[in-house]
Amino acid sequence: TSSAPDTDFVARLVDVYPNGYAQNLNDGIIRARYRNFAQGEAPTLIEPGKAYEYEIDLWATSNLFKAGHAIRLDVTSSNFPRWDRNPNTGHEFGADDELAVAHQTILHDSEHPSYVVLPIVPLAPVTAPPQP
């Protein structure tokens, strides 16, 4: 949920090393008004406080998580300057300079399950190239 009529949700996949070093692997973003744009729907503002489903594409990547490493998912509402800022007002972009603070809640209960899909690709056997 969000306290604003429009906001962003950013997800970042992170490989956390045993010493605490965190390596960003990939990220993705969804702007609330465009949550159903891929299905051909027009941009639509959200009702503050109402639960919506957001699918954030982290794009294809590959990583071998070594023993002792942890998989972390960061969820935030900003990743400026990588992605442009969202004023959280619902106004047309560039129409004014008003900014609003948005408070987000990620729901994760039986009614609103949150999940991450991480496909696992088995390691292929390594074979030596043919010798001349």
CATH of the domain at 44: 2.60.120.260
The predicted pLDDT at position 26 comes to: 95
Q: In total, how many domains does the chain have?
A: 1
Burial 5-28 (b: 16+ CB within 10 A, else e): bbbbbbbbbebeeeeeeeeebebb
For residue 89, the enclosing domain spans 1-132
Q: Write out the chain's pLDDT in tens, 132 residues.
A: 999 999 999 999 999 999 999 999 999 999 999 999 888 899 999 999 999 999 999 998 999 999 999 999 999 999 889 988 899 999 988 887 889 999 999 999 999 998 899 988 887 777 878 887
What's the pLDDT at 93? 83
pLDDT of residue 17: 98
